[in-house]
Protein backbone atom coordinates (compact mmCIF):
# COMPACT_ATOMS: atom_id res chain seq x y z
CA UNK A 1 0.00 0.00 0.00
CA UNK A 2 2.91 2.35 0.55
CA UNK A 3 3.44 2.69 -3.21
CA UNK A 4 0.02 4.25 -3.81
CA UNK A 5 0.38 7.54 -5.62
CA UNK A 6 -3.27 8.59 -5.44
CA UNK A 7 -6.69 7.19 -4.71
CA UNK A 8 -10.28 8.24 -5.11
CA UNK A 9 -12.36 9.57 -2.26
CA UNK A 10 -14.49 6.43 -2.46
CA UNK A 11 -11.44 4.18 -2.17
CA UNK A 12 -10.17 6.22 0.77
CA UNK A 13 -13.48 5.98 2.62
CA UNK A 14 -13.87 2.27 1.92
CA UNK A 15 -10.30 1.34 2.81
CA UNK A 16 -10.16 3.22 6.09
CA UNK A 17 -13.56 1.75 7.05
CA UNK A 18 -12.33 -1.77 6.24
CA UNK A 19 -9.16 -1.26 8.27
CA UNK A 20 -11.16 0.19 11.17
CA UNK A 21 -13.71 -2.63 11.06
CA UNK A 22 -10.99 -5.27 10.97
CA UNK A 23 -9.22 -3.74 13.97
CA UNK A 24 -12.54 -3.60 15.83
CA UNK A 25 -13.15 -7.28 14.99
CA UNK A 26 -9.69 -8.21 16.29
CA UNK A 27 -10.20 -6.30 19.53
CA UNK A 28 -13.70 -7.75 20.02
CA UNK A 29 -12.06 -11.18 19.84
CA UNK A 30 -9.34 -10.09 22.29
CA UNK A 31 -6.63 -9.98 19.63
CA UNK A 32 -4.16 -7.19 18.87
CA UNK A 33 -2.72 -6.48 15.44
CA UNK A 34 0.50 -5.38 17.08
CA UNK A 35 2.27 -3.91 14.05
CA UNK A 36 -0.16 -1.39 12.64
CA UNK A 37 1.58 0.33 9.77
CA UNK A 38 1.01 1.05 6.11
CA UNK A 39 3.37 -1.71 4.98
CA UNK A 40 1.15 -4.28 6.70
CA UNK A 41 -1.93 -3.31 4.73
CA UNK A 42 -2.36 -5.01 1.38
CA UNK A 43 -4.96 -4.31 -1.28
CA UNK A 44 -6.40 -7.50 -2.77
CA UNK A 45 -7.06 -7.69 -6.50
CA UNK A 46 -10.77 -7.13 -5.77
CA UNK A 47 -9.83 -3.75 -4.13
CA UNK A 48 -10.40 -5.03 -0.59
CA UNK A 49 -8.06 -4.47 2.33
CA UNK A 50 -6.07 -7.30 3.90
CA UNK A 51 -4.13 -6.80 7.14
CA UNK A 52 -0.95 -8.84 7.59
CA UNK A 53 1.89 -9.40 10.08
CA UNK A 54 0.44 -10.46 13.39
CA UNK A 55 3.78 -11.80 14.63
CA UNK A 56 4.31 -9.13 17.28
CA UNK A 57 6.62 -6.19 17.51
CA UNK A 58 6.08 -2.76 16.08
CA UNK A 59 7.70 -0.36 13.68
CA UNK A 60 9.18 2.90 14.90
CA UNK A 61 7.28 5.91 13.65
CA UNK A 62 3.94 4.14 13.42
CA UNK A 63 3.36 3.24 17.06
CA UNK A 64 5.05 4.68 20.15
CA UNK A 65 7.07 2.20 22.22
CA UNK A 66 4.72 2.58 25.17
CA UNK A 67 1.80 1.43 22.95
CA UNK A 68 3.62 -1.52 21.40
CA UNK A 69 1.36 -4.56 20.97
CA UNK A 70 -1.65 -2.90 22.63
CA UNK A 71 -5.13 -1.88 21.59
CA UNK A 72 -3.98 1.73 21.91
CA UNK A 73 -1.08 0.99 19.58
CA UNK A 74 -3.41 -0.45 16.96
CA UNK A 75 -5.49 2.74 17.03
CA UNK A 76 -2.40 4.94 16.96
CA UNK A 77 -1.13 3.09 13.89
CA UNK A 78 -4.59 3.29 12.34
CA UNK A 79 -4.66 7.07 12.75
CA UNK A 80 -1.28 7.36 11.06
CA UNK A 81 -2.46 5.15 8.18
CA UNK A 82 -5.55 7.35 7.80
CA UNK A 83 -3.39 10.49 7.73
CA UNK A 84 -1.11 9.01 5.06
CA UNK A 85 -4.01 7.95 2.85
CA UNK A 86 -5.82 11.26 3.25
CA UNK A 87 -2.85 13.07 1.74
CA UNK A 88 -3.02 10.74 -1.26
CA UNK A 89 -6.64 11.76 -1.90
CA UNK A 90 -5.93 15.46 -1.52
CA UNK A 91 -3.01 15.34 -3.93
CA UNK A 92 -5.16 14.32 -6.91
> For every residue of the chain, which 3-state class applies, written as one string?
CCCCCCCCHHHHHHHHHHHHHHHHHHHHCCCCCCCCCHHHEEECCCCCEEECCCCCCCCCCCCCHHHCCCHHHHHHHHHHHHHHHHHHHHCC
Binned at pLDDT 50, 70 and 90, residue 90 comes out as low
Prediction pTM value: 0.90
pLDDT of 21 above 80 = yes
What is the percentage of the chain residues whose pLDDT exceeds 70?
93
Locate the domains of the chain by residue range.
9-87
User: CATH number for the 9-87 domain, one of 3.40.50.2000, 1.10.510.10, 3.30.70.580, 3.40.50.620?
Assistant: 1.10.510.10
Alpha-carbon distance 36 to 76, whole Å? 8
Amino acid sequence: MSNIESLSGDQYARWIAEIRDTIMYLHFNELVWGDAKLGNVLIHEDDRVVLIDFGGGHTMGWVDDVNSETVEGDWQGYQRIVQYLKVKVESQ
